[in-house]
Each structure stands twice: as C-alpha cells, then as structure tokens.
Amino acid sequence: MSDAIKPDITMDLKGMACPMPVVKVSQQIKKMQIGQVLAAETTDPGAYADFPAWAKSTGNEIISTDKKENVTTFYIKKIK
C-alpha cells in the first residue's frame, strides 16, 4: 500500500533520542496543510505505540506503516 503513497514531506528521525521523533513530527505536521501526508522514518521500536497514540490524541491519521529491516516509515495524514 505504501508504494502508492506519495508523501508531501519525508522526515529522517532515525536514531533520535526520546522524545524527539514525536516532537519533530508534531512540529512538522503543524506547518502542513490538511490532507497532506508526512512520511516519518524512525528506528524507535516505541514508535509503534507512541505514533498511533499521538495521532489519536491529536486527531491525525496514520494511513500506512512500512517496515524495512530496522527502519519503520509511518505515513501520517493531517486531518485537522
């Protein structure tokens, strides 16, 4: 599914210390237009719970997740 998604912005969050991946994504998504998609690449295992929880609490949507080796890309659509 993620092959068809064309993100508007891609962020490299690999190796960042806690809590920067979620902070950086949150800062970036505020700058984007509703409907745009952010691809967030991370190596944090905690992101599997943290990103969905963040999306739920902020009203945004994770439309796809793509894992290649130890890098996971979350495709986040700005909803509001």
Partner 1 sequence: MEKEKIQELKSILKSRLNRPLRYYTDTCTRCGICYDSCHAFYGIPKKEYSPVGRAEVVRKLLKKYTRPSGFLFPYWGDAMKLGDAVLDQVFEAAWSCTGCRRCMVNCPFGIDTGQIMGVAKHLLIENGTAPEELIMLADAAVEKGKSIDQFKEGYKQVIHDLEKEVQKKLNLPSPDGLIPMEKQGADILYVGLAGAHSIVNPAIIFNAAKANWTLSFFEAVNFGFFAGDPDKTNFIAQRIIKEAMALNVKEVVIVECGTAFRILRALMGKLPFRVSSIVEVIHRYVEEGKVKLNKNSVSEPVTYHDPCQLGRNGGVFEEPRAVIRKIVSDYREMSPTREQNWCCGGGGGLVALDNEDFRIKTGKAKKDQIVATGAKIVVTACENCVSQLKTIKGGYGLDIEVKYLSELVCENLAIQSSE
Catalytic residues: 18
- Whether cis (ω within 30° of 0) applies to the bond prior to 19 is yes
Whole-number minimum distance, CB 70 to partner 1, in Å?
7
Residue from 10, 49, 71, 79 binding partner 1 (CB under 8 A): 49
Tell me the per-residue interface mask from 3 to 32 with partner 1, x by CB under 8 A, - otherwise: -------------xxxxxxxx--xx-----
Whose structure tokens read 């902070």? 23
- Per DSSP, the three-state class of 4 is helix
Structural Rg of the chain based on CA atoms: 11
Query: Per DSSP, what are the bridge partners of residue 24?
Result: none
- Applying CB under 8 A, the residues found at the interface with partner 1 are 16-23, 26-27, 43-50, 52-54, 56-58, 65, 67, 70, 72
